[in-house]
A and B are shown apart, each in its own frame.
Chain A
Amino acid sequence: MAGLMSSPPESPAAPSVKRPSATPAVAAVVVASSTSTVDQALAAIGRQVYAPVQVLVVGKAPDGVESVTRLDEVAGALGEGIRFVWWLHGDARPRPDALTALMRELARNDASVAGSKILTDEGALESVGSATDVFGEPFTGLDPGELDLEQYDVVREVAFVSAVSLLVRRDLARGLGGFDPRLPGLAAGLDFSQRARLAGGRVIVVPSSEVFHSSPCPEDGAGWKEEGGRNKAMLVAYRPLTLGWVVPIGALVGLANGLGQLILGRLRPLLSTVFSWLWTIGQIPSALAIRRRVARTRSVGDEELFRFQVGGSVRIRRTLSELGDRFNRALDEDESGSLAGRARFALRRPSLAWGLVSGLALLLATRGIWFAGAPQVGFSLPPGGIEGLAAAYGGAPNPAGLGGGAVAAPLVGLASLAAAALGRRPILAGALLTLAAAALALTGMARLARRAGSGSRGATIAGWAYLAGATAIAVFATGNWPVLLAAGPLPWALDPVLGTPVPEWRRRFGRLARAGLAAGLTAIAYPPLLVLIPVVAAIWAVAARRTSAVVAGLAVTSLGAGLISPYLAGGNLYDLLDAGSRPVLDDPWLWLGSLAVTLIASTLWSVRSRLPGVWLSAVLIGFGFLISRLSSATAGLSTVGFIAVALGAGILAALAVELALPRLKGVGWLLAGLLLIPAALTLVQGRLGLPADRWTDELEFVSTLSDGDRPDRALLIGPPGSLPGRARSMFGFEYRVAAGGAVTIAQAYLPEMTDADRILGAVIEESLLGAVDLRPGQQLAMLGIEWLVVVPGSTFPVENLDRQVDLARRPLSTELLVYENLVEPGPVQPTSGFDRALRAAGWASGALLLVLVAASIWGRGRPLPPVSETASTRELTAVS
């Protein structure tokens, strides 16, 4: 209880002791700030047991007190016989014995610089000397507001001491040139301490010298300036060899930290880093001048500085720690416990370890996408231009259409927006959307499993059993990329459905808004999946006897549907359900057998609190599979059924891990492991289950060889399932029109059938198949088609193409048969846009999106403070 035992400096408790005449003379130099007076500091100096023989104020001083205006005038103003200089901030209030302690320990330890223990007015520790990392970032080891309990009261060497109260030999101070007046408070102390150490001096902290200090200190500079000051201190102190790697790595560390902080929603650290380096560049001439002075006094190498530094980057560790805590909170939502407690255990939580392992696994499972982008096959197609957003929400035409009106699928808008945000990089946008969806699926499913009753251990594998289970992979294997994107936010949309209602209305709204956003993303990517939200809500209401789940489910579904209102009002949902291939389980018995055994074990040996979760997974698995197998089910309905099975499998895997079998603990993991076998195969495959690429660059010739004034359209013909996006079927093969050199997601879904489409069908049937004339190219040209591309392997008789005069075979692809239309294509009638009412619906969706974003931010409630930087880093240190 040092703070309580300590008496304030104003108290008359300190006895006055005469200083022996043989003791060294000390001058107290008080650095005044522009915002506070130095009266209290001067009074405290006056009460010192070891009385300074000279008191000098730098800056504005009361009448009768000797003063100078600038720091560099101090050396000349010190009196003869002064051997030590005691630097004090103008807002510091040292205890009466502070100088005594400094003098005593300085002499006892043969040190050159001694710093005091700095306390706030509340008795909390502000500084007891600091270590730094190699970049000069202080590492105090203190919790914010940590009280002084004399826990650090040991005289020891440190990297630097606070400039609030610092005693230094006069000859050393003269040799070093004093403090750098261009540096802010903390950086100035660091810089001076480092120069003193390089000159062979020892820098110690003397905890028995207690100094109270107002916080925040007016001497402290802005964050960017302190950071710049630390950079300058590096430039001054380190030898060129060290600077050769410290400076670039320091810059990178600052950048990485800034980006990490950006993830945490803070822009300032990134800007601060940028400004600090700009400021540092401006300080180079000054730094070089000081380096020359340091060179004259340097007696030790950089190694002496390294002795008092911690490894790695303090800032990076702090940011990682904070990210980890944020991650833990997202998964576990264990918001109870103290901040220090959460920080202490943050690193030991399985969720964090799982996060790291899972992140690595995700990188492994998507390595093919990283290297080559998402495969272009089926509905896995790159985004188009920003006009896709207009096509989905504003009524722009579909470039692959033949005149029919259509509302583009909402995913077209999202993907286009992503590509535009990334500077028209469609491949990168596609890859990032895929990875983001996968990450959302893994984290969201872990969270959902916790809601369903799983412990944190089980939750660690739920995401993989969901995302990379056999049924989900069977869906992705059809090239149904939109479902992959929809599967990501889906578990997040179910969060308020399975979660316990939050008592606070604001947080309840926030949670609902976030779930609505997630449901909206699900609906945007693949609208049919939205139906799973009310279905899960209904099952959960029965299983958990919580009717509020139905209300939450309907609310979330409504909000999600609101984000795709133009599509719901004018789109063709049946067309979407009918698009693509029906997913098929290659070897259903193995997967279903594993599910059945796990289900039986879970129902028999789960603790009662987890039974609702088991019920939920059982119904999802059973009826999801049943629906997917209905012979009348479209590809879309089968897909929804398979994703329902995947959801159930994820929850089941999580619950199976924690079976109540104390003597057979491994059984649960074994069963869960069975459900994770497909995930292992997905890791090996490297494309997250998506099929191999088929169309990347294959149609590039369409745009590169086409005359700029002519439409660049191609008629694609191939076996069922081979063409990109939606295709029409005829005589056992499929066909569609593609525009441009790459089929984008904007063209994936075909507009409604028009007369032109019927003419195209007739041209194929009569001219290409029936060979009623020798000039099919002339017919195709009337539809604006310049190229005919045939994927080998279909029932389409390519030999018919040998018997015509206006489609010339071109050797442009090794995989495809490419024919150029020798007849100049005519003008193209683009797909018409949609009407004003649907455009209004688009605006309404946009407005709802803004409302949901605002509500989700507002509804977060009072944010928790970040995990203590010092506590977590200390934890790291302890672990190391």
Chain B
Amino acid sequence: MEWIRRASAALVALVALGSGMLLPQPAITEPPELPVPGETPYGVCPVARAGGGFEGRVGLVTDSDAVGRYSAVAATDDTRPFSVPAGESLAFSVGDLGEVGFNPVLVESAAESLGRVAAATFDRAGPVAAMARCEPAGAGSVALLGMATNAGEGSTIILANPFAAEATVRLVGSSEFGPDTPSDLEAVRIPAQSTAEIVLDQAMAGREHLGFTLYPETGLVVAGLARSGPDTAVSEAISGGRQWFVSLPGFGVDGWLIVRSLAPGAAEFRIDRVDPSGATEGVDSGQLEPNSQLVFHLEDLGAGEGGFVVNSTEDVAVATAYVGEELRTVSAGTSGLALQWLVPVSAARDEGQSTVWIFNPSDNPTTASIDILGGSGAPEEFEVPAGTTTGLILDLDGRGASISTGEAVAVFHGVLTGTRAAMTPAYPLE
């Protein structure tokens, strides 16, 4: 009995200890997935301009009721609220936020906003006009294409950082001379809520085809470029894509198609020309090394009334640049097709002819229905033949527009002011 009594104590404890060891331990529960940030609730217009003869304007459109605020990038605490109902557009003068030359503007959607807000800038100084989209900052590299510093040409890079965190970027340039980067552009610091203008006229004079890839090192920036000469052209920085659509607006001047690699490795590409007959013909192909670009004269590619489609195996950026005696225009291609597009800004009647270019790469004709936002009339319908770029002069009078088509198309908008012109891609709605 004594031994049983003694052993029972150890037995009880050992059984309990053993059971404890054998008990399944609470499984490590995986935390729920982090919410994925939705649509970027803002856009930055890096080339908005006021002062120095320019009267810049920012136009806003939305697919549904939208509220938010806008402010100068350098003074984000001095905000102006806005409200844009569905079917309306809004434009405000950059000069209201300060006339300091390039004055990048931050347009924010409020959390309670229902619609997406699309914005674009229209810089005008007499017959000189320039248009560019307002874009959010991308975490990856972007391209700045279509600059020149030769023969009276000048180019400026504008870096806007509206955020509370300081940003540092690295710029890698290339021109017809090959890799072409001044050492002081290898690390550019943009303090929080500030703008940096990098004038390339002197340091990089004599380049006819100059482009840069911008790599964000810390923080985020939104970049744009301005090309000056007899005319002014502006463009937002272009994010990478593997398929690009380029319209041919028929300005009647020399035009170039620029393809720049944004990939860390070599990128194979092919350029197809789309004819009004509906045929698609490969006109060029090749390989792009990282940080390099190729510039094609549009005439050499057999440009006609249609457009071009650029396909690549890695991310590339594509833009067109038109250079005439007085005309300078730089426009990004569109990296996709859509059935509905928004035009955020346009010229007033006395500023020039508001124009929309619709590139229909398909082999079927389609009808485009154009609704002038805030207008009283019914939407107008236009035929867009297959394989063509159709230019339409509209009486937008400073308002935005919504364009719907039966086939997926690429839409660009701009203004014609006699011998000068401006063009930029419209906003596709998914």
Interface string of A767-788 (1 = CB under 8 A from B): 1011111110100000000000
In the complex, chain A residues whose CB is within 8 Å of the CB of B30? 732
Q: Within 8 Å CB of A333, what residues of B?
A: none
B14 adjacent to A599 (CB under 8 Å): yes
Distance in angstroms between the alpha carbons of A599 and B13 in the assembled complex: 8
Q: Are B25 and A629 neighbours in the complex by a CB distance under 8 Å?
A: yes
CB-CB under 8 A from B137, the residues of chain A are 803
Contacts of B41 in A (CB 8 A): 771-774
Closest to B25 in A: A631
Knowing A801-B165, A802-B219, A802-B220, the reply to whether A628 touches B14 (Cβ < 8 A) is no
Bound Cα distance A518, B359 (Å): 86
| Interface flag for A797 (CB, 8 Å) | yes
* Inter-chain contact B21/A804, CB cutoff 8 Å: no
| CB–CB A611/B23 < 8 A | no
Q: Which residue of the partner chain, among A596, A731, A797, contacts B13 with CB atoms under 8 Å?
A: A596
Would you call B26 and A631 a contact (CB within 8 A)? yes
Q: Judge whether A774 and B108 touch: CB under 8 Å.
A: yes
Interface size class of A (residues with CB under 8 A): 35 or more
Q: Is there an interface contact between A809 and B166, defined as CB atoms closer than 8 Å?
A: yes
Tally the A-B contacts, defined by beta carbons under 8 Å. Answer: 144
B10 contacts A805, C-beta separation under 8 Å: no
Contact flags A369-405 to B (C-beta < 8 A → 1, else 0): 0000000000000000000000000000000000000
Residues of B with C-beta under 8 A to A626: 16-17, 19-20, 23
**Which residue on chain A has the smallest CB distance to residue B37?**
A771
Closest to B3 in A: A604
Give the interface segment out of A69-77, A140-148, A612-620: A612-620
Majority secondary structure of chain A interface residues (helix, strand, loop or mixed): helix
* A611→B6 contact, CB < 8 A: yes
> Is B173 an interface residue, CB under 8 A from the partner?
no
Question: Shortest distance in angstroms between B14's beta carbon and chain A's nearest beta carbon?
Answer: 6
A731-B34 contact in complex given A626-B23, A628-B20, A805-B164, C-beta closer than 8 Å? yes
User: In the bound complex, how far is the Cα of B109 from the Cα of A771, in angstroms?
Assistant: 11
In-complex Cβ contact of A805 among B13, B16, B35, B163 (8 A): B163
Given the complex, which residues of A lie within 8 Å of B10, measured CB to CB?
Answer: 596, 599-600, 602-604, 618
The answer to the question of B286 belonging to the interface, with a C-beta cut-off of 8 Å to chain A, is no
Q: Is B196 interfacial (CB-CB < 8 Å)?
A: no
Chain B residues near A805 (CB-CB < 8 A) = 76, 106, 162-164, 193
Given A603-B7, A771-B37, A774-B42, check contact A803 B163 (CB 8 Å): yes
Within 8 A of A (CB), among B379-417: none
- Give A606's nearest chain B residue, CB to CB: B6
B38: interface (CB < 8 Å): yes
Q: Are A619 and B24 in contact (CB under 8 A)?
A: no
In Å, the complex CA distance between A685 and B24 comes to 31
Q: Scoring A residues 629 to 658 as 1 if CB is less than 8 Å from chain B, else 0, what string do you get?
A: 111100000000000000000000000000
Taking CB as reference atom, which chain B residue is nearest A806? B164
* Nearest chain B residue, comparing its CB with the CB of A823: B77
What's the least CB distance linking A169 to chain B, in Å? 80
Closest to B77 in A: A822
> B192 an interface residue at 8 Å Cβ cutoff?
yes
CB of A676 to closest CB in B, whole Å: 19
A80 within 8 A of B: no
Pair B34/A797 contact, Cβ less than 8 Å: yes
Give the distance in Å from the alpha carbon of A626 to the alpha carbon of B20 in the complex: 4
Partner among B9, B13, B33 whose Cβ is within 8 Å of the Cβ of A611: B9
Give Cα A133–Cα B34 distance, bound, in whole angstroms: 77
CB of B151 within 8 Å of the partner chain: no
Q: What chain A residues lie within 8 Å of B165 (beta carbons)? A: 801-802, 808-809
Which residue in B5, B15, B21, B164 is a CB contact (below 8 Å) of A592? B21
User: With contacts A799-B139, A803-B163, A805-B193 known, is A618 near B9, CB below 8 A?
Assistant: yes
* CB-contact partner of A731 in B32, B106, B167, under 8 A: B32
| B252 in contact (CB, < 8 A) | no
Q: Is the interface of B mostly helix, strand, loop or mixed?
A: loop
Q: How far is the CB of A819 from chain B (nearest CB, A)?
A: 8
Residues A615 and B164 in contact, CB atoms below 8 Å apart:
no
The reply to whether B163 and A804 form a contact with Cβ atoms under 8 Å apart is: yes
Cα-based distance from A13 to B377 in the complex (angstroms): 149
Contacts of B108 in A (CB 8 A): 773-775
Interface string of B215-256 (1 = CB under 8 A from A): 000111000000000000000000000000000000000000
Given known contacts A732-B31, A803-B220, A809-B165, A767 and B12 CB-to-CB distance under 8 angstroms: no
Which residues of chain B from 272 to 298 have any CB-CB distance to chain A below 8 Å in the complex? none
Q: Judge whether B111 is part of the interface by a CB distance below 8 angstroms.
A: yes
Query: Taking the complex as formed, is A335 at the interface, i.e. its CB lies under 8 A from any CB of chain B?
Result: no
How close is A697's CB to chain B, nearest CB, in angstroms?
Answer: 25
| Least Cβ–Cβ distance between A87 and chain B, in angstroms | 74
> Which of A600, A602, A729, A772 is close to B111, meaning CB atoms less than 8 Å apart?
A772
Output the least CB separation between A616 and chain B (Å): 9
A188 interface hit (Cβ, 8 Å): no
B339 at interface, CB cutoff 8 A: no
A160 to chain B minimum Cβ distance, whole angstroms, is 65
Asked if A807 CB lies within 8 Å of chain B CBs, one says yes
Determine whether the beta carbon of A622 is less than 8 Å from that of B77: no
Minimum CB–CB distance from B161 to chain A (whole Å) comes to: 10
A622 & B164 in contact (Cβ 8 Å cutoff): no
Q: Which chain B residue shows the least CB distance to A623?
A: B16
Interface residues of A in 726-785 (CB under 8 A from B): 729, 731-733, 765-767, 769-775, 777
With both chains docked as a complex, state the minimum distance between the C-beta of A84 and any C-beta of chain B, in angstroms: 81
> Is A166 an interface residue when CB atoms closer than 8 A count as contact?
no
Chain A contacts of B42 at CB under 8 A? 774
| CB neighbours of B200 from chain A (8 A) | none
Q: Is B110 an interface residue (CB 8 A)?
A: yes
Roughly how many angstroms separate A630 CA and B14 CA in the complex, as a whole number? 16
B111 touches A765 (CB 8 A): no
State A732–B35 Cα separation when bound (angstroms): 12
Q: From A627, which residue of chain B is reached at the shortest CB distance?
A: B20
What residues of chain A lie closer than 8 Å to B7, measured between beta carbons? 603-604
Convert B103-135 into 0s and 1s, putting 1 for each residue whose CB lies closer than 8 angstroms to a CB of A: 000101111000000000000000000000000
CA distance A614 to B12 in the complex (A): 12
Q: Counting CB contacts under 8 A, is A795 at the interface?
A: yes
Closest A residue by C-beta to B73: A805
Chain B residues positioned under 8 Å from A729 (CB to CB): 31
A704 within 8 A of B: no
Cβ of A800 < 8 Å from any Cβ of B?
A: yes
* Chain B neighbourhood of A592, CB < 8 A: 17, 21
Q: Which of A622, A629, A772 contacts B15 (CB 8 A)?
A: A622
* B16/A769 in contact, CB under 8 A: no
Q: Is the CB of B163 within 8 A of A802?
A: yes
B 338-372 contacts with A by CB, 8 A: none
Closest to A769 in B: B35
Tell yes or no: A101 within 8 A of B by CB.
Answer: no
List residues of chain B with CB within 8 A of the CB of A62.
Answer: none
Restricting to B128-169, which residues have a CB under 8 Å from any CB of A?
Answer: 137, 139, 162-167
State the CA gap A819–B219 with chains docked (Å).
14
Interfacial chain B residues near A765, Cβ < 8 Å? 35
Closest to B30 in A: A732
Structural contact, A769 and B6, CB atoms closer than 8 A: no
Complex interface: chain A residues within 8 A of B24 (CB): 631
B423 to chain A, nearest CB (A): 29
A341 within 8 A of B: no
Contacts A619-B9, A773-B111, A803-B163 known; 6 new A-B pairs at CB < 8 A:
A600-B14, A618-B13, A731-B35, A800-B37, A805-B76, A806-B77
Enumerate 10 A-B pairs (CB-CB under 8 Å) in ascending A order: A596-B14, A599-B13, A611-B5, A618-B9, A619-B9, A631-B25, A801-B165, A802-B165, A802-B218, A808-B165
Chain A residues in contact with chain B, CB under 8 A? 582, 588, 592, 595-596, 599-600, 602-604, 611, 614-615, 618-619, 621-623, 625-626, 628-632, 729, 731-733, 765-767, 769-775, 777, 795, 797, 799-809, 819, 822
* 3 nearest A-B pairs in the assembled complex, by CB-CB distance: A622-B16, A732-B31, A622-B13
Mark B residues whose CB is within 8 Å of A: 5-7, 9-10, 12-17, 19-21, 23-26, 30-38, 40-42, 76-77, 106, 108-111, 137, 139, 162-167, 192-193, 218-220
